[in-house]
């Protein structure tokens, strides 16, 4: 029986019914490992540097992880014939386990980086499989619910990760933050072949698109260098080189027979390419939040802990919106994407008025207004994200569903990486460093939020052109 014909329930708790419980625990567990580890590592890295040194390599802890995670997502589409999706999940879990173990025993920062690369590859595999399995595990009526569940996990992880990292922030205790993950990854790797379906291998080819993978990696590394470069000239040239690598990637991708994205994924005349473009721009705009704690602390005298929880409102807003719109279908889904993009653009732009100003007395009304807009940023993305994922799953050809799922993680990582790097270029070029101080911070914040509203505006234009999501297509068997 196909899932399109299966009896359906629209309750989120149906994901944890007896029929779906095992698979839901596995898939949500993989997302949880990825999400919690992201925030835990961000919290403990200062302790790692104090313990074993390696401050000049600090930024590469994230850079290598993101780059490797993209490669892990691509691996789903190019895995060897005969390697089923559930066993691929086991491979991802084992690599995540191995990378965590390497980090836990690392005597130097260079070894930590090696562990983070292995860990990132496994994490990218697990996160991508969360999307790839949706069409095999759930009926179409639950596809939005599954992505809502993932959003909820990210929202919860925003609070759990830093809290858990705080327990291991003293001395060499940071090693336990990596060690504690190992048994969870081991259990998940062992249970995956039993709790997850094998999936239908309907791919037409499995060879690796090496040229695109090299260009993709180069663009991520270049943009990461740009975010840490001290000279504005160097930052500019590195961004230009990164954009050139992306342009070359798109050109090669269009002409290649071996591709990273599914057919039509780079042609804006095709709906699937416009969906990916909307995803990229929504995530790129959202990454301006990395400087929100700094502006809250330096412009509004908000304590560090409180500023951390305020920026966590982005994830909370995303989660809340995902729950609210998870039952939308048809035209309501398209309107939700459009309204969400407009809301994100408005909220980011308004932060140039509320957050980007001097407030040495910490006026509660002004901080509360900024917090409301920060929540709205995430809420806007949450209104559309699950529906964009559903679009991708419907628009991809039957033999490219796995590649399309991998593309979601790839585009998500690219959007976040480019957004983070460009935000660094903007603030460092508009006053954060020179003249610096509160005046410089206010100037940098104003420019940052005004400019970063533009990608969300572009996402709204793209969303306006998207087709109405369709249902009822054959998407796989549940046998």
Distance CA 196, CA 87 (A): 9
Q: Which CATH number is 130's domain given? A: 1.20.1250.20
- Residue of 150 and 277 predicted with greater confidence: 277
Tell me which range, 41-50, 193-202, 295-304, 334-343, is most confidently predicted by mean pLDDT: 334-343
What's the mean per-residue pLDDT of the chain?
85
Q: Looking at the domain assignment, is residue 298 inside a domain?
A: yes
pLDDT of the residue at 206: 65
Regarding whether 220 and 177 lie in a shared domain, the answer is no
Q: Which helix (H) or strand (E) holds 190?
A: helix 182-195
- Residue of 71 and 399 predicted with greater confidence: 71
- Residue of 327 and 368 predicted with greater confidence: 368
Regarding whether 213 and 200 lie in a shared domain, the answer is no
Joined together, the tokens standing for residue 34 give 């990825």
- Residue of 220 and 228 predicted with greater confidence: 220
Band (454; pLDDT cuts 50, 70, 90): very high
Q: Looking at the domain assignment, is residue 264 inside a domain?
A: no
pLDDT of the residue at 245: 92
Regarding whether 309 and 175 lie in a shared domain, the answer is no
Residue that terminates a domain, selected from 206, 223, 241 = 206
pLDDT 10s digits, 322-358: 888 888 888 888 899 999 999 999 999 999 999 999 9
- Among residues of the chain, what percentage have pLDDT more than 70? 92
Q: Based on the number of CB atoms within 10 Å of its own CB, is 424 exposed (0-12), middle (13-18) or buried (19 or more)?
A: buried
pTM, rounded to two decimals: 0.77
Band (472; pLDDT cuts 50, 70, 90): very low
Q: Which helix (H) or strand (E) holds 73?
A: helix 60-78
- Residue of 53 and 376 predicted with greater confidence: 376
pLDDT of the residue at 60: 75
Regarding whether 133 and 250 lie in a shared domain, the answer is no
Regarding whether 82 and 156 lie in a shared domain, the answer is yes
Q: Looking at the domain assignment, is residue 263 inside a domain?
A: no
Q: Where do we find the tokens 């949450």?
A: 382
Residue 477: pLDDT above 50? no
CB 453 within 8 A of CB 257: no
Q: Looking at the domain assignment, is residue 231 inside a domain?
A: yes
Q: Looking at the domain assignment, is residue 291 inside a domain?
A: yes
pLDDT of the residue at 115: 96
Q: Is the link from the previous residue into 435 a cis peptide, with omega within 30 of 0?
A: yes
Residue-number span of the structural domain to which 334 is assigned: 270-473
Regarding whether 365 and 311 lie in a shared domain, the answer is yes
pLDDT of the residue at 165: 76
Regarding whether 362 and 299 lie in a shared domain, the answer is yes
Regarding whether 275 and 221 lie in a shared domain, the answer is no
pLDDT of the residue at 122: 95
Regarding whether 165 and 51 lie in a shared domain, the answer is yes
Distance CA 48, CA 52 (A): 6
Residue 420: pLDDT above 80? no
Residue 1: pLDDT above 60? no
Band (398; pLDDT cuts 50, 70, 90): confident
Q: Looking at the domain assignment, is residue 140 inside a domain?
A: yes
Regarding whether 41 and 165 lie in a shared domain, the answer is yes
- Residue of 3 and 122 predicted with greater confidence: 122
Residue that terminates a domain, selected from 197, 227, 257 = 257
Regarding whether 138 and 4 lie in a shared domain, the answer is yes
Buried b or exposed e, range 97-129, using 16+ CB within 10 angstroms: bbbbbbbbebeebeebbbbbbbbbbbbbbbbbb
Band (98; pLDDT cuts 50, 70, 90): very high
Q: Looking at the domain assignment, is residue 479 inside a domain?
A: no
- Residue of 220 and 333 predicted with greater confidence: 333
Q: Looking at the domain assignment, is residue 478 inside a domain?
A: no
Task: Work out how many domains the chain is built from and give that number.
Answer: 3
Q: What's the mean pLDDT in 162-176?
A: 81
Regarding whether 301 and 198 lie in a shared domain, the answer is no
Band (59; pLDDT cuts 50, 70, 90): low
């Amino acid at each position: 029986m196909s899932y399109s014909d299966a009896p359906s329930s629209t309750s989120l708790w149906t994901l944890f019914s007896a029929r779906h419980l095992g698979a839901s625990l596995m898939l949500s567990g993989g997302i949880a490992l990825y999400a919690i580890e992201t925030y835990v590592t961000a919290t403990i890295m200062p302790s790692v540097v104090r313990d074993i040194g390696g401050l000049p390599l600090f930024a590469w802890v994230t850079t290598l992880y993101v780059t490797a995670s993209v490669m892990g997502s691509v691996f789903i589409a190019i895995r060897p014939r005969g390697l089923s999706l559930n066993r691929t999940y086991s491979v991802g879990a084992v690599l995540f386990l191995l990378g965590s173990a390497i980090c836990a025993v690392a005597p130097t920062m260079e070894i930590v980086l090696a562990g983070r690369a292995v860990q990132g590859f496994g994490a990218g595999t697990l996160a991508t499989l969360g999307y790839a399995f949706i069409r095999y595990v759930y009926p179409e009526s639950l596809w939005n619910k599954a992505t809502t569940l993932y959003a909820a996990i990210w929202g919860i992880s925003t609070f759990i990760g830093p809290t858990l990292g705080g327990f291991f922030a003293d001395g060499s205790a940071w090693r336990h933050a990596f060690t504690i993950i190992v048994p969870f990854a081991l259990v998940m790797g062992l249970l995956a072949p039993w709790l997850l379906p094998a999936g239908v291998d309907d791919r037409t080819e499995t060879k690796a698109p090496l040229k695109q993978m090299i260009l993709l990696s180069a663009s991520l590394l270049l943009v990461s260098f740009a975010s840490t470069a001290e000279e504005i000239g160097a930052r500019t040239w590195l961004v230009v080189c990164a954009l050139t690598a992306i342009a070359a990637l798109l050109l090669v991708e269009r002409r290649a027979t071996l591709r990273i994205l599914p057919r039509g994924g780079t042609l804006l005349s095709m709906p699937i390419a416009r969906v990916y473009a909307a995803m990229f721009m929504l995530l790129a705009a959202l990454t301006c939040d990395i400087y929100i704690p700094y502006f809250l602390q330096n412009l509004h005298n908000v304590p560090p802990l409180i500023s951390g929880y305020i920026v966590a409102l982005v994830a909370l807003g995303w989660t809340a919106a995902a729950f609210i719109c998870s039952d939308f279908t048809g035209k309501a889904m398209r309107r939700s994407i459009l309204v969400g993009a407009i809301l994100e653009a408005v909220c980011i732009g308004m932060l140039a008025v509320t957050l980007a100003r001097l407030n040495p007395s910490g006026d509660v009304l002004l901080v509360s207004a900024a917090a409301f807009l920060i929540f709205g940023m995430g809420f806007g993305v949450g209104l559309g994200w699950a529906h964009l994922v559903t679009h991708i799953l419907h628009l991809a050809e039957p033999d490219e569903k796995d590649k399309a799922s991998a593309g979601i993680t790839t585009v998500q990582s690219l959007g976040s990486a480019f957004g983070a790097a460009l935000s660094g270029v903007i603030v460092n070029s508009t006053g954060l460093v020179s003249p610096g101080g509160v005046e410089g911070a206010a100037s940098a914040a104003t420019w940052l939020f005004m400019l970063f509203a533009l990608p969300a505006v572009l996402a709204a234009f793209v969303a306006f052109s998207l087709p109405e999501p369709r249902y009822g297509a054959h998407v796989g068997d549940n046998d």
